[in-house]
Structure 1
Amino acid sequence: MQAVAAWALTGTVLAACVSVGEAQPFITCHVENGPSPELTMHHQFTPHDLLSLSVKIVETHGMCRFNITWILNADASIRYLNATKICVSPASASRACVRCDYSEEFESQTRPDGQNWQFYYVGFSVQEITKYFIEASNIPPANILEDMPKKEIILTSPGCQDSMLKHCNTCIEMGSLWDPEISACYTESEVEVNFTASGFSPNYFIFLCESDDCIDHTVSNKKKNDTRVSVRIPLNDKSRKTLIELIPYFPKCRNDCVRYSDYMEMCPEESVSDPDVTNLLGTYLYALAALLLVVCVLAAILYLKRRHDTAKSQGFLYPAMKQIPTTTVLIVYSPEVCFQHTVLGFADFLHERCHSEVIIDAWQKRRIVEIGPVQWFATQREIAEKIIFLTPGPRSAACDAACERTIESHKKDSECMFTLAFNLFCSDLKNQSSPHKYMVVSFNETNLAEQLPSPLNSCPKYFLMKDIGSFCRDLCFSRNLGSGEGRKSKCSGRFKINLKPLV
């Protein structure tokens, strides 16, 4: 009985017991779990039943509660109405009631605007997936042996995936808002798992499965806030596990919490060596490169001296020794672009023909997992001199099968990166900070405007191979501006001569 009283009292303290529409009369609600005193009295006149009763679930201060609304009948019996009693009976607990007393007698059957009198009460906490019996009746009640008029509602509350309940404390503590963002890959000897741990779950169970063969691993996290966790699990039997299942342990759901699963990919190859050996090897490589550079310079000097043998030829050495400036390009591609043929082919073209350094998210997956996609893209945005939005190109029967596989495997990541890039572009466009950085490149001129979000139409657009000349000139011009050479450059002519079609 103490638990029932506490449940009802909590609803009363947090309730907003005021009338809707007119300010008078007010209602005052308090707990009354037992029978009302009026049941032992005889009444010459009693009020009519309620006209209607409705219930909805609302969130107040992190708690989900019932908002119970009732409307009074518009008849003369309203003059004898003293209070309305509301009782809620959850399937898992005992019945709890509140009594809402009207501050004074009603002077009219309806409000001054002609509408029926209407009141509401916010209280009684709501648990997920629970059946409730809600009833309301007017006081004084009918006399003994007479019909007891009342309104009843039976409802079952939704689960924690409901758009309202998922934001309430009782569901948050069961992981309703938790998004682990699982990423996992495997090598021949181990599996690397990364996920975001919740501050409400201290322990996690990781299952690595191949068909019905599974191995388990336990992870503990004592931090009270959400944090990124990285775990390496050795594979003793050298088997290739392809499915990962992550099971949290929230105190409110314990072993019955929502599980998350994902498929693994092969980890990208990464050179691992002793730091001392790496440093020594780097020193030798730098020394070898310096020696080779000196030999080349001496050979050039001897050649020029032999051919010209003038002081003018010696002064010509300095510009000849300059390094060709490079442009750093970040490629952003939509989910429909074929990664294997279109993205990699375009990246190869930029590297070989335009002497550009190319950045693609698929080449830095491990780094993205470590720092998150937003921080990674913000860093690359500062590094890149040009950001190119690459749109889908024409498809051929020869590459349809390969395109479907690569599009499906990269769809989630490319959609995320494309959205991040588009949002940052809109921010730059609004603030007019660096709109010159962005370009749009397409291999298909047909309906390009329909394929792009409308803000991207303000960017320079190039159709390869039709606009290859202007694209190369503009890309080279942005590079020369950074190196202080201006527009005078021979790179556009060189591109036109050496360009080969992309497949």
Structure 2
Amino acid sequence: MLGVKLIIFSLIVIKVTANEIKTECREFSGIPPSNLTSPSLLADLKVELVTWEGMYLLNISWAINIDASIEYLNATRILIESLAVPYHCEYNPPLATANITGSKQIWFHYLINTGSGSEFIQAANIPLAPKGICYKGVSIIVPTPKPLDVKTRTTQVPPVYSTASGLGQEAVDLTSIVIATFGCLASLIVLSCFYIIYKRFGAKLAISSSFKGCHPSPMLPVPVLVVYPAENSAFQRAVVALAEFLQWQGGCRVAVDIWQQGKIAELGPMRWLTEQAKAANRVLIVSPQAELPISYPSHLPNDCFPTPSIPASAQDLYPLVLNMVVSHAKSSRDLAKFWVVQLGDQQQYKRCGNLVPELRACKTFCVMKDLNKLCMSLHEHAQENIRISTQILKPGIVYSEKSVETLREAVEMIK
């Protein structure tokens, strides 16, 4: 069963073609580039379920507008909520040089395996525009796969293809399938060796103390709500960098207003905050800059994710969450749900004054100093029930130095 899952998972590296245009999707853990000369928005984004031998795969489809702006298109960025790292899909040859005259749109498809449950997929063309909304998003429910008898399984793989307007489908490159299959077999052997070592010598050999990373994730990401004051664009970028780090590297499922503007508009700030706080294991309240008073300016810069504009909801949510902390102050158990995160130098905060009175009783972390401690604390409730197979296979256990440096640079920009 494990080998079959690994073979399916390897399909994410298979290339697909359309009208002699190849797309190669690879993991990308850094901040995507932005430019004033950027391509137009995606024309459309669709996600459909594909069944294969009792498993559910996601067929992610996106449409590119064929206009003058495609000369600036470098890639398409795909964010999948349950996966630790986003994907960048590059085009070869570039669409600006491809023979696609006469077409208004061209569709591309990408097949990938994910877990079950609610899934949220976002996509945008790269480089991102410095202003405005760049991403399209689609939600889908992935059912739990039904186990099948091994005897009923076949060696047939699901079709992976990309098509353009008026063009037919092309089959998957068989060479890529063979390479992916042998790669999975080798991975299965390595994982078996890890398990034997663990059973013989203990978990300490499987997880070295020299690794820098969060504590192993449970079977589902830890739900976390992030609330922050409306300060300035540099502070906003640091908050988004922290949220993205926890989402893609920290094994968390982050709820933050910048990613749920439509939901906030539908429910209103107070109801949205109440529902998200109730569903979250922890509410992370980002402390305002110590050297500046909390302010809510009437005009705020409108940057694009991951350097987004400061949404108007931030002006309402921060005072509301402070009132929520005060209402829970009488119960130490309820108050323990609220943590404070300071962005910047801890000595700088001490020099410029203490926290606002509402937050002084909350547990406090200083990023970047306490980043590893923060991640481990978010997962500490599941420490005793994590098996070695989960530690090896689950993404987001050990975060990369590049992702840490990206967050560090965003925090440094506040100064």
Scaled to the shorter chain, the TM-score interval is: 0.3 to 0.5
Question: TM-score normalised to the size of structure 1?
Answer: 0.34
Question: TM-score normalised to the size of structure 2?
Answer: 0.40
